[in-house]
């Protein structure tokens, strides 16, 4: 009976045998990985690598004199909840500064809604042309009353001064060119 194997199976088996041989021989070839190695530190046990701890005599009388009895714990190890927030600090309210009242008087009149858009010179007098924004136009010379509410005080090259009839709310209107 003749045993026939294919070549790839032979190669795989040879590689597996080589890896197994290297794993087994590693502690012998590389002594730094040997767990049974002895160290220069006498506190390390040679077999386990854990340090050996010497037993120290405790002076219990001194411990009792220093701290006395332990206080009862307020923590419950079987209940899990967040710590309560610290108590809020009570701060005195800052003193409120009261500003002295200043008399402002009556509110100013609303702005005059006229637009100044040109000037015409007729018989030596200057006449200004206005629009009120609603499609109406007005013409007036210095001293004339416009729209029954405003008085035209002065006409300049590109500005006019207009005020309410009672003299308050003096406003300079620049030429808009419209």
Across the chain, the runs of DSSP E, i.e. the strands, are 115-122, 125-131, 137-140, 145-146, 150-155, 159-164, 171-174
For 40-92, the pLDDT digits (tens) are 555 444 445 556 677 777 777 776 776 666 667 777 778 777 777 888 888 88
User: pLDDT digits over 136-165, tens only?
Assistant: 888 999 999 998 899 999 998 889 999 999
Q: What is the pLDDT of residues 86-101, one digit of tens each?
A: 888 888 878 888 888 8
Give the rounded percent of residues in the chain with a pLDDT score beyond 70.
Answer: 76
Q: What is the pTM of this model?
A: 0.41
- Determine the Cα–Cα distance for residues 23 and 28; give it in Å rounded to an integer: 10
């Amino acid at each position: 009976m003749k045993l026939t194997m294919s070549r790839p199976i032979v190669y795989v088996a040879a590689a597996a045998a080589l890896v197994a041989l290297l794993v087994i021989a590693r502690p012998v070839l590389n002594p730094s990985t040997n767990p049974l190695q002895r160290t220069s530190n006498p506190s390390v046990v040679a077999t386990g690598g854990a340090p050996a701890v010497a037993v120290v005599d405790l002076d219990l009388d001194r411990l009792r004199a220093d701290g006395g009895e332990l206080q009862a714990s307020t923590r419950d190890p079987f209940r899990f909840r967040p710590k309560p927030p610290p108590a809020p600090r009570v701060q005195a309210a800052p003193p409120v500064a009261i500003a002295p009242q200043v008399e402002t008087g009556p509110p100013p009149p609303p702005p005059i809604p006229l637009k100044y858009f040109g000037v015409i010179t007729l018989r030596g007098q200057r006449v200004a042309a206005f629009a009120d924004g609603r499609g109406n136009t007005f013409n007036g010379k210095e001293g004339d009353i416009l729209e029954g509410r405003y008085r035209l005080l002065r006409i300049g090259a590109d500005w006019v001064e207009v005020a309410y009839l009672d003299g308050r709310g003096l406003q300079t209107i620049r030429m808009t060119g419209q």
